[in-house]
Chain A
Amino acid sequence: MKHLKLLTNPLNDENPITVQVLGICSVLAVTVQMKPAIVMAVSVIVVTALSNLIISLLRATIPPRIRIIIQLVVIAFLVILVDQILKAFLYDVSKKLSVFVGLIITNCILMGRLEAFAMNNRPWESFLDGIGNGAGYGIILIALSTIRELFGSGSLLGYQVIPEGLYKLGYVDNGMMILPPMALITVGIMIWVQRGYNKKLIEK
């Protein structure tokens, strides 16, 4: 039960993006289309889960004064691994994601989880927490990219969804959806909707 909470809490009540507002930068950058967003989501899940696990295993031996640099080394190692794998097997997506895979290193969600959770919890819990937080990030990424690709390019996963007939009637794709400001506004609307039904999140 407690373990399940580790997985599900970050999806809603403690969502890294809509509640803690971390990692917004990459959210705006990689969500123009669904495919890169999904790849990005999976990469982040892998990196959060494994880095949480490794740091949790090492936590007793890490001297507190240099813990940040050790956390960074672990994250950087994993990110480079993910980056190389993407380059080898998903070259076109990896090109679209460009620097943003590398920038997972600076994603606040990772450092936040390592500092707040993995440093004082056992490996299994830390691993689950990593997957949960990565998934919380991924869910928003995928939802956002669905909206942006559908209204911005009229397609989903690269396949045309909005029928040709509608374009002939005068429908035009919304160019603002492709621009980062609209991504930020859409995240804002998501936060709004989430707070609309999740009463726990409303500050007094």
Chain B
Amino acid sequence: MKSLRRYIDRIKPHFEKGGKFEKLQSTFEGFETFLFVPDRVTTSGSHIRDSIDMKRTMIVVVIALLPALLFGMYNSGYQHFLATGDTRPFWPVLGYGFMQVFPLIVVSYVTGLTIEFIFAQIRGHEINEGFLVSGMLIPLVMPVDVPLWMVAVSTAFAVIIGKEVFGGSGMNVLNPALTARAFLFFAYPAEMTGDQVWIAGMKQGTGIPDGYSGSTALGELAQNLTGRIPADLDSFLGFIPGSVGETSKLAILIGAFILIYTGVGSWKIILSVFAGGLFMGLVFNAFAANEYMALPAYKHFLLGGFAFGAVFMATDPVTASQTETGKWIYGILTGMLAILIRVLNPAYPEGMMLAILLMNVFAPLIDYYVVESNVKRRLKRLKRSRMVEEGKHNPE
């Protein structure tokens, strides 16, 4: 560690103004602060000084994602061998899944970071840290089987149009990972609509019997069939087909605890998304006009990407509401919309992605009105206290 620090200090002058590699300053800076906590701190103003910086915050999220990622790898293999009918021991299954998922991660990071570096160099900014998390989230919301070039295209779209256009990390209106998924969803619908289950190796037809492919549980529900809803325990533990990271609710729960414990993710948002979803589910249960409406409300959390979205996507501090009251409103509406889209629109069996993106757009508006109403309330209080004061003085 020491020698690394010394090496960085030695080459540093080359990258500063007037140095040999002046142009690559932001690249160098990015690597330096990635390896070591920066030595600069805020010197003026009334800022709270904390030893944690953006990169450290982001790493917490990546760590929280690890259980979902590891399980996603295992499950990719498990689903594949389940489909082929082979039974394999633990390690080969994990190995197969790893070989399926790892390329997704590499492509997502390489594409995204390349674009981030290019933009940082052009603008002379520091490199944005935001992509550390987005790059991990993107493979987790993709089907295992998606062609790698599609991952690259949608990542590029998300980073350029979803983020850099608005000025980079911290300025984006939409969650970049979900933008990537939405792009894939609309641009290559055959891959993504979710009416077919996603199992690794299915397209190449490697030993998977014909006819194994079928609708996903949510897709079936949209057509009023209940045949394929997995058992609660299976969908809680995650032994169901789906996007890489979304299947295991247990792994997501572990991630949620890490986020809440470290204070990186807002528990208010997570809780209110589930509350909103539960409420909407119960409302539909009350009508129960078809199979999807009659689905017990709690089952919505166990199927599809609801839990994953609530914990990792809706809580994105940049695109969610910033005010504390706003967080409740934002979360409840997200949960309600997700179930609403799921149940009422058969074209979109999975509503979480669209619900979060829509609420991302509305988050600033929610914040605006929360702040406004706060200002109004305090003004009224001021007025009342003045009147009371005057009232005291008047009789004398």
Contacts and interface: CB of A to CB of B under 8 A. Distances in A.
B188 A192 contact: no
B28 interface: no
Given A175-B188, A176-B183, A177-B187, A185 B161 contact: yes
Interface in A177-201: 177, 179, 181-182, 185, 188-189, 192
A175 B193 CA distance: 12
A172 interface: yes
Interface in B187-205: 187-191
Contacts of A179: 186
A45 B170 CA distance: 44
Contacts of B191: 172
Nearest to A174: B187
Interface in A160-177: 170-172, 174-177
B193 to A, nearest CB: 11
B147 A175 contact: no
Task: Name the residue among B153, B165, B187, B190 with the largest chain A CB count within 10 angstroms.
Answer: B187
A181 B187 CA distance: 11
A201 to B, nearest CB: 17
B276 to A, nearest CB: 27
Interface SS, A side:
helix
A172 B190 contact: yes
Task: Name the residue among A172, A188, A189 with the largest chain B CB count within 10 angstroms.
Answer: A172
B188 A174 contact: yes
Interface size class of B (residues with CB under 8 A): 10 to 19
Contacts of A181: 186
Contacts of B188: 172, 174-175
A179 B186 CA distance: 9
Contact of B147 (A170, A174, A185, A189): A170
A192 B165 contact: yes
A179 B161 CA distance: 16
Interface in A119-163: none
A179 B188 CA distance: 12
Interface in B215-238: none
A188 B162 CA distance: 13
B91 to A, nearest CB: 30
A175 B165 contact: no
Contacts of B187: 174-177, 182
A150 B113 CA distance: 28
B174 to A, nearest CB: 12
B153 to A, nearest CB: 8
A176 B189 CA distance: 9
Contacts of A177: 187
A175 B191 CA distance: 11
6 nearest CB pairs, A to B: A176-B187, A174-B187, A176-B186, A175-B187, A170-B147, A172-B188
Given A175-B189, A179-B186, 4 more contacts: A172-B191, A175-B186, A175-B187, A181-B186
Interface of A: 170-172, 174-177, 179, 181-182, 185, 188-189, 192
14 contacts: A170-B147, A170-B149, A171-B149, A172-B147, A172-B150, A172-B191, A174-B187, A174-B188, A175-B186, A176-B183, A177-B187, A179-B186, A185-B161, A188-B165
